[in-house]
Amino acid sequence: MDGWTAADVPSLAGRVAVVTGGNTGIGLETARVLAERGGTVMLACRDERKATEAASQIRATARDADVRMVHLDLASLGSVRQAADEILASCPRLDLLINNAGVMYVPFQRTEDGFELTLGTNHLGHFALTGLLLPRLLATPGSRVVTVSSVAHRYGQMHFDDLMMTSDYRPDPAYGQSKLANLLFSYELGHRLAAAGAGTASLAAHPGVVLTDLWRTSPGWQRALISPRLRLINFWAAQPVSQGALPTLRAATDPAAQSGEYYGPGGFHEYTGSPVRVESTAASHDPAAQQRLWDVSEQLTGVRYTVTA
């Protein structure tokens, strides 16, 4: 279906969605549309003040929306476990888990648990959260997990011998590795769910190029190139947040979307355009890498999944 828009999102009345990083950028737009379609939306965010402001913004356009908040710091496994407990306690069903939050182009830092911050936040935190919420997802018919990757996965490489990149850390390769990890995880989760005969689907999406708060740590020249002020020039290379959220929304709600699929913009280099099914690199489909990352992620996080290969 070409030209898919937010208007194609079906009614979500009675359904519950958790959106990590739902307080800003693509996450906020995703949460807003889900709420406007009648879904109960839980914003899982690190900054509670920003989450409260985001909930107010959503209610301004979706007046009867059921918008909730839970504190979630993906750079802390303790916080991840606490957030999962709160979600499970308050949500008797869970239809959508959208692993959206992330960091990009940051100096070398470690999470509370000693992981390199980019991988720890973008992949390991979401791996742990998904595993902890999986029993509730499995118990909800037609549930989906959508993991947000990036075009940056194309230059990503898994440094399994130095996963935290302590010997040669650079922000770009660290981000690329984390976004490749998102896809390896999404595909492996889909394989395991299918092998177990589960009704839960695992999909992935990427927004193309969108100027959001995620770019705040990138070089100034990069932010300038995709600035909305240069819209007449860079329209082919960057798109607004409302458009950037569509691949995630399609993966999450399109009845025709299937487990294992990957959605992104259909335009030039997948930078912009309407959301369509896209292909990821051969590296993201490497079964050995998928299995190895899964095993390492279970060891590092201590979260064991209830489905097996």
Question: Which tens digits make up the pLDDT trace of 48-69?
Answer: 999 999 999 999 998 889 999 9
Q: How confident is the model at residue 244 (pLDDT cuts 50, 70, 90)?
A: very high
Cα dihedral 63, 68, 72, 78, rounded to 10, equals 180
What is the model's pLDDT at position 304? 97
Residue 219 in this model has a pLDDT that exceeds 90: no
Is residue 94's pLDDT more than 80? yes
Integer Cα distance of 172 and 48 in angstroms: 29
Q: Collect all residues with Cβ–Cβ distance below 8 Å to 83 and sequence separation of at least 6.
A: 44, 70, 71, 72, 129
Structure-block tokens of residue 41: 């939306």
Could you say which of 3.20.20.80, 3.30.479.30, 3.40.50.720, 3.40.50.1820 is the CATH number of the domain covering 9-301?
3.40.50.720
pLDDT at 223: 42
**pLDDT at residue 275 greater than cutoff 60:** yes
Predicted local distance difference test score (pLDDT) of residue 213: 54
Give the residue with greater pLDDT, 206 vs 231: 206
Q: Residue 307: pLDDT band by 50, 70, 90 thresholds?
A: confident
- The residue ranges of every structural domain in the chain are 9-301
Q: Annotated catalytic sites, by residue?
A: 175
Summarize the confidence of residues 216-243 as an average pLDDT.
57
16, 91 Cβ separation under 8 angstroms: yes
Edge-to-edge strand ranges of the sheet holding 67-71: 67-71, 40-45, 16-20, 96-99, 144-148, 201-205, 262-265, 275-277
Q: What is the pLDDT of residues 163-178, one digit of tens each?
A: 999 999 999 999 999 9
Question: Do residues 190 and 260 lie in contact, with contact meaning Cβ atoms separated by under 8 Å?
Answer: yes
pLDDT band at 35 (very low <50, low <70, confident <90, very high): very high
* Of the listed ranges 124-133, 144-153, 194-203, 227-236, the one predicted with least confidence: 227-236
